[in-house]
Amino acid sequence: MKLSCVIAVAVLTTALAGCQTASTPPAASTTSQMLVGAGFVQKKPTTAAHTAGLNSLPANQLVSQTVKGKTSYLFADPAGCNCVHVGDKDAMQNVMMQMNQAGPFDQAVPNLGPGGISDLDSWGPM
């Protein structure tokens, strides 16, 4: 079961990254629309430290982080919207349902560990 979840998240990440194209405006990107429609919130960097945080994330890849006991799912898009999409467990579950994937995704999405972004609340809205 765990292997199938890893494969499902790999397929999901590839599909999300594949939705980005150079000819599609960031605001209209399919990836962005899917994530926002699923409940993810776009956060833009408003300081140099935020920009460094965005650039430290793997681009176009879903990752998770746990800060103060709360798990968030992040999808950084520095080349498209220059933002990070932030979702909770419900938003991630909605994405998985949209992609027709099932399983405990929380075990399969790579975790950032202690080097995550701890101040996402201070980032600006899109």
Number of domains in the chain: 1
Residue 29, in any domain of the structure: yes
Helix 89-98 with 2-18: angle, nearest 10 deg = 80
pLDDT, tens digit, for every residue of 48-101?
Answer: 999 999 999 999 999 999 888 888 999 999 988 899 999 999 999 898 888 776
pLDDT, tens digit, for every residue of 1-14?
Answer: 333 333 334 435 44
Which position has the higher pLDDT, 28 or 122? 122
Any idea which residue has 């300081």 for tokens? 47
Residue 19, in any domain of the structure: yes
Residue 15, in any domain of the structure: yes
pLDDT at 126 over 50: yes
pLDDT band at 26 (very low <50, low <70, confident <90, very high): very low
Residue 56, in any domain of the structure: yes
pTM: 0.69
Residue 115, in any domain of the structure: no
Q: State which residues form the domain around 56.
A: 2-110
CA nearest to 83, candidates 112, 46, 110, 115 = 46
